[in-house]
Structure 1
Amino acid sequence: MSTNAAGTGRKGLVLAAMIFAVAMTFIDQTIVSIAAPKIQTELHLSGTGVQWAINSYLLAMAAFFAFGGRLSDTFGHRRMVVIGVIVFAGASALCGLTPTGSLAQTWIIFFRAVQGLGGALMYPAALAIVVNTYELRERGRALALFFGIAGGLTAVGPILGGYLTEWTWRGIFWVNIPVALVALLLIAVSKPVTRFQAAPIDYRGLVLIVCGVALSVFGFQQSSVWGWHNPAIGLSIAAGAVLLVLFYRYERRQDSPLMNVAIFSDRAFLMQCVVLGLAMTVFLPMFFFASEYAALSLGQTTQQAGLTLLYFFLGFMVTAQIGGRMLDRVGAKRPVVVGSVIATVGYYLWASKMTSLDLNKETWYIVMAGAGMGLMVGPANTDAVNRASSLSYGEATGITMTVRNYASSLSVAILGTVLVSVFQSQIASTLVSQGVPAATASKLAATATHNGGSGQGGTGTGSGTIPQWVRLDFAHGAQTVFYIMAGMMALAAVVALFGLPGGVQADSTASTPAEEAATAA
C-alpha cells in the first residue's frame, strides 16, 4: 500500500482533521498560563498549586508520549486519535467543573494531568497520519502548514484566554469541546488510512519512564517552596535521574520496547532531539513567564497580555512556512541553524529591554524571537520523524514529543526557581537600600515572592497598585530568565551547526515485505 494512502483528493481534508484534533493540545499549552492568576484567586490555590495546574499537563504528556506513540503504531493511528480527542475533551469539561473548596486544587491538577494523557494518546497518532498521508518531498510543506497553523493556535491561547477569563475562567476549558466535535466529524468524513502492526506493550518500561519524569520534575518544581536545603529535593531529582537511566538501559534489552532507543544510534535523529529539547526549554515556558512579566511589570490585563504575545506569533507563523519550504528544498540544517541564531538574538535583545518597562522598546525583538522559533521548530521535528520507518512514525513522534515536553516541564520548574530567587534577592536589596534591616528585608521578600508575583501565579490584574520598584524588581527576575533562554537557543544553534548533516534527506521509508503485510487501519 502506498504511503499516500489517503489519496490526493483527501489529503487536505485529512490534514484539516488532524489540525483540529491537535488544536486543543496547542491551545491548552498557553491558555491556562494567562488565566492562572484568576484561577488561583477564585479557587484559593497556593502559588505552588497553580504552577502544578500548569505543569501537570506538560508532565503527563512528557511521561505518556512514548506510550501513546507505541499504542498508535500497535492499535492504529486513527483509533488512537479518536480515543485521545474524547479523553482530552472529557478532561477539559471536568476541569471547567472544578468545585470550589478544599477539593479544588487536587481536582484541577488531576484532570489537567488527564488532559495531558489525552494529548499524549492523540498527538503521535495525528502526526503519524499526516506523515503517512504525504510523500517525503511533500512533507516539509504539509507539516509546515500543520505546525504553522497548530502552532499558531498556541497564540490563540493567550488571546482567547484573556477574553474568556473576563467571562469565566472555566470557559478556557469548555472551549475545547466544540473543537473536539469538529475534529471527530472531520475524522469520520476523511477516514484517514495508515498502516500499523500489532506488538506487545512494555508496561515495565512505562512505569520506569513515568516515575523517572515525575520525580525529576517534582524535585525542581518544589525546590522554590521547600528550599534546596531540604534533602527530599536532592533525593527526588536523583531518583528521577536514576530511573530514567534504568529506563534507557532496560529498553535496549527489550525485543518490543516502549521506546525504541536504538533509533538514537542515528546521529541525525539524536542531534535533532537535542536541538528540539533545547528549543522547548524556551518555547512553551516563554508563554508562562512572558505572561507574568506582562501582568506584573507592564501592568497589563489578561487581554492585553494575550495580545502582546500575538507579536511573537506574527513572526512565528510567517517563518514556519518558509522553514517548511527550505526543508523540502535544501534539508533541515539550514533553517534549524539560521532559526536558532535569529531566536538567540531576539530573546537576548528582548531581555535587554525588559527593565525599561516599555513594551514599545520590546515589540520588534518579540517578533524576532518568534520568527526564529518558527523557522527552526517545524524542520527539526519533521526531519527527526522522517528518519523512522513508515510503521514507526507514531513511535518516533512519541520519542520527539517526550523530549519536547519533558524539556518544557523541567524548564518551567527550573526557570521558575530562578525567577523566584532573583526576584526575592532584588526585593531584599531594594528594601535594604530604603533603610529596612537586612533580616526584616529578607523575610518580607520571601513573603512577597511566595504570595503572588512570584512567577507562580501573580496577580494578573495589572500592576497599577504595585509599587514601581516592585515592578522593576520582577522585571530583573524575568530578564535573567530570558537571558538564559537566549543562551539555550545559542546552544541549539551550535549543536545544529556541528551535529546535523547537510542536504536533503534521502527517502528511507520504502516499503519492505513486512510493511506490505501490515494491517491497514
Structure 2
Amino acid sequence: MMFAVAMTFIDQTIVSIAAPSIIEELNLSSSGMQWVVNAYLLTLAAFFALGGRLSDVFGHKRLMLIGTVLFVVSSTLCGAVPTGDGAQAWLITFRATQGIGAAFMFPAALAVVVAVFPVERRGRALALFFGVSGALTALGPLLGGWLTTWTWRAIFWVNIPVAIIAIALTFAARIRNERRREPVDWVGAALVVIGMGLSVLGLQQASAWGWSSAATWVCILGGLVVLTLFVGYELRAPHPLIKLHVFADRAFSADVAVLFFAMMAFVPVFFFTSVYAQVSLSSSPNQAALFLLYFFVGFAIASQWGGRILDKQGAKPALRIGTALGAVGFALWANKLTDLSLHDQWPYAAMAGAGIGFLLAPASTDAVNRSIGASYGEVTGITQTARNYAASIGLAVFGTVLTHTMTDRVAGTLTARGVSEAEAQASARSIAESVTGQADDRTPTGESPLAQLGSEAMSSIRMDFAEANQVVFYCMAGALAVAFLCSAFHPGTRVTGGEQEPQEPGAGTAATER
C-alpha cells in the first residue's frame, strides 16, 4: 500500500520543478502550466469522498488496483503528450484523470492497512504508513530536478515501475477483497464532486483571477452552497455517500478539526519554503528540496512516537503535543527567516515537522477507530477530503498574504530609491507575482522583473521576500494554535480492541474474495 500511495504524494510536488522545461518544449502559457499543476489537485480533492465510498462497495483491494491502474495509465499518457496545439489540453486532461485515480487509490489503500491491523497495533502501523509515504513528498522536488536533466517526461514515467511493484505486492499479499452490497449514492456523489470542485477551483484560481473577481467568489460561494445542499440531502438519503452522524462523536469531530487546521500549514509549507530558499537564500531548486529534508527529519521521527503514544495512551496526548510543538516550531522558524541563514533555521524547521508528525497518524487513526457505524473506506474518504480541502485553503489564503505583503515591502524599497509611487507599485506587483509564481513572470520587454534590478536592489528584495514569508509562517503557526484549541475538545477516551470496530462487511451483507 505504501508503494501505491507514494506515487500520489510525489506527484503533488514533482511537476512544479519541471515546469520551465514543460513550458519551453510544449510552448504552454503561464496560466496553462498552472492548470497542469492544479488539475491534479482539483480532481484529487473533489473525488476523495466518492473514492472512499466506492472502496466499500467494490472492495478496498479492487478499488486500490483500479485507482493504481488509472493513475499509472494517466501518468504514462502525460509523459507521452505530443507537441503541437493540442498539447495543453492533452496534459491537463490526463493530469485530471491522474487525480481521480489517486482519489480512488488512496482511501482504499489506507482502508486496507486499517482493516488488517487490530486497534491496539493500528497506531504504530499507520505511523509507519504516514511517516514513510508522507516523507516521500520531499522526494518530489529532488526526483523532479534529477529526472528533468534527462527529460521532463520521465517525471511521469517514473510512476510505471512503482505501480508495477505495488500491484505485484498486492497480489502477493493475498489481501481479502471485502465489499458491501449497498447502492452508491450517485446524487450525493455528484453534489460533493461539484461542491468540492467549484470551491477548490475558486481557491486555486484566486491568485490569477484576483480576490475582487466575480468569478472567484461565484466558484467559492457556489461550491459552498452546493456542499450545503449535499449535507441536507445526505441527512435524508436512505444510503448516503457519507453517514454524517459520525460527526456526532466529539472525538471524531476533534480529530477531523485538528487535521483540517494542521493541513493548512503542512501542505503549503513545501511551496513557500521552496520559493523562499530560491529567492531569499539564492538556492538552486535541488538545494531548496534538500532544505525541506530538515522538516521531514523531524516529521519522520515524531510520527513514530505519535503512533506509540496513540497505542499506549490514546490520541489526545499526541494531538496536544503535536499541535503545541508545531505552533512553537513554525513561530520560531518564522522569527529566523530574516536571518537569511540555513544554519540558523534547521532546528526550527525540524521542530515544525515534528509537530505535524506527532499528530498526523494519531488523528487519522483515532478518527477511523471512533467512527462507529461507518466503514473504513468511508471514513478515510472523509478525513482525506478534509485534509485536501484545508490544503487548498492554505495555499490560496497564504499565497494572497505573501503577494500583498511582498508588494507593499518592495514598493517601499523602490520608493526609497527615488522611484515614483505609481511606478514602484506597478513594479512591486510584477516582482511579487514573478517570485510567487502567481502570474506570467515576463514584462512587456520580455525580461524577468527580477533581472532588471541591480545587485544592491536585489539584496533588498531578498530581505523583503523573507519578511513577507515571515508573515506567512506566523499564519501557519496560528493555524497550528487553532488546531491546539480543537484538540482540547477531544474527550481523551481510548478505543480498545474489545470495543466495537467501524462497521465492515458481515455475514449476509458482503462477498469476500481473494
Q: What TM-score do you get using the length of structure 1 for normalisation?
A: 0.90
CA distance in 1, matches of 2:153, 2:60: 31
TM-aligned CA deviation for residue 45 of structure 1: 4.1
Give the 3-state SS of the residue equivalent to 2:392 in structure 1.
helix
Q: Does structure 1 residue 188 correspond to structure 2 residue 171?
A: yes
Shift of 1:101: 4.6
- 479 and 175 in structure 1: CA distance in 2 versus 1, 3 angstrom threshold: same
8 Å CA contact 1:39–1:169 kept in 2: the answer is yes
1:377 lines up with 2:360 in the alignment: yes
Determine if contact 1:58/1:408 at 8 Å carries over to the other structure: no
The aligned residue for residue 315 of structure 2 is 332
CA distance in 2, matches of 1:312, 1:29: 17
Q: Which residues of 2 match residues 38-437 of structure 1 at below 5 A? A: 38-389=21-372, 392-437=375-420
Looking at structure 1, the residues matched to 395 and 502 of structure 2 have their Cα atoms a distance apart, in angstroms, of 41
CA distance change for structure 1 residues 458 and 481 in 2, over 3 Å: closer, same or farther? farther
1:475 is matched with: 466
Q: Deviations over 1:56-106 (max 9, x none)?
A: 322212111111111110011111011010011111112223344543443
Cα distance in 1 between the residues matched to 2:427 and 2:502: 66
Alpha-carbon distance change, 35 to 356 in structure 1, aligned in 2, over 3 angstroms = farther
2:275 and 2:435 in contact (8 A); partners too: no
Paired residues in the alignment total 501
Q: Which residue of 2 aligns with 1:499?
A: 489
Alignment check: 8 A CA contact 2:180 2:505 kept: no
2:48–2:107 CA contact under 8 A, matched in 1: yes
CA deviation profile, 1:151-181 (whole Å, cap 9, x unmatched): 1212222222222223222222211110000
Aligned-partner residue type, residue 215 of structure 1: L
Give CA deviations for 1:455-514 in whole Å, capped at 9, x if unaligned: 56879x9x9997222222222222222111110011101110x21121422344359897
Whole-Å Cα distance in 2 between the matches of residues 178 and 104 of structure 1?
25
SS at 2:149 equivalent: helix
1:7-58 Cα distance to aligned partner (Å, 9 max, x none)? xxxxxxxxxxx11111111111222233344444554444444443333322
Residues 372 and 503, structure 2, Cα contact 8 Å, conserved in 1: no
- In structure 2, give the amino acid aligned to 1:329: K
- Cα separation, 2, equivalents of 1:292 and 1:103: 30
RMSD, aligned α-carbons: 2.4
Give the Å deviation of 1:209: 1.4
Q: Is the 8 A contact 1:292 1:455 kept in 2?
A: no
- Which residue in 1 is equivalent to 2:506? 515
Instruction: Give, in whole Å, the separation in 1 of the partners of 2:212 and 2:247.
Output: 36
Q: Tell me what 1:7 maps to.
A: none
- 1:126 positional shift: 0.8
CA distance in 2, matches of 1:448, 1:50: 19
The residue identity in structure 2 corresponding to 1:263 is V
Matched to 2:471, the amino acid is T
Q: 1:417 to 1:102 in 2, by over 3 A?
A: farther
What residue is the counterpart of 1:8 in the other structure? none
> Could you tell me how far apart the structure 1 residues matched to 2:33 and 2:57 are?
36
Contact 1:30 1:284 (C-alpha < 8 Å) held by counterparts: no
Q: Secondary structure at the match of 1:84?
A: helix
Which 5+ residue runs of structure 2 have no aligned equivalent?
A: 443-447
State the alpha-carbon separation in 1 of the partners of residues 13 and 136 from structure 2: 9
Higher alpha-carbon deviation: 327-336 or 213-222:
213-222
CA distance in 2, matches of 1:81, 1:326: 29
Describe the SS at the equivalent of 2:11: helix
Identity %: 49
**One-letter code aligned to 1:275:** V
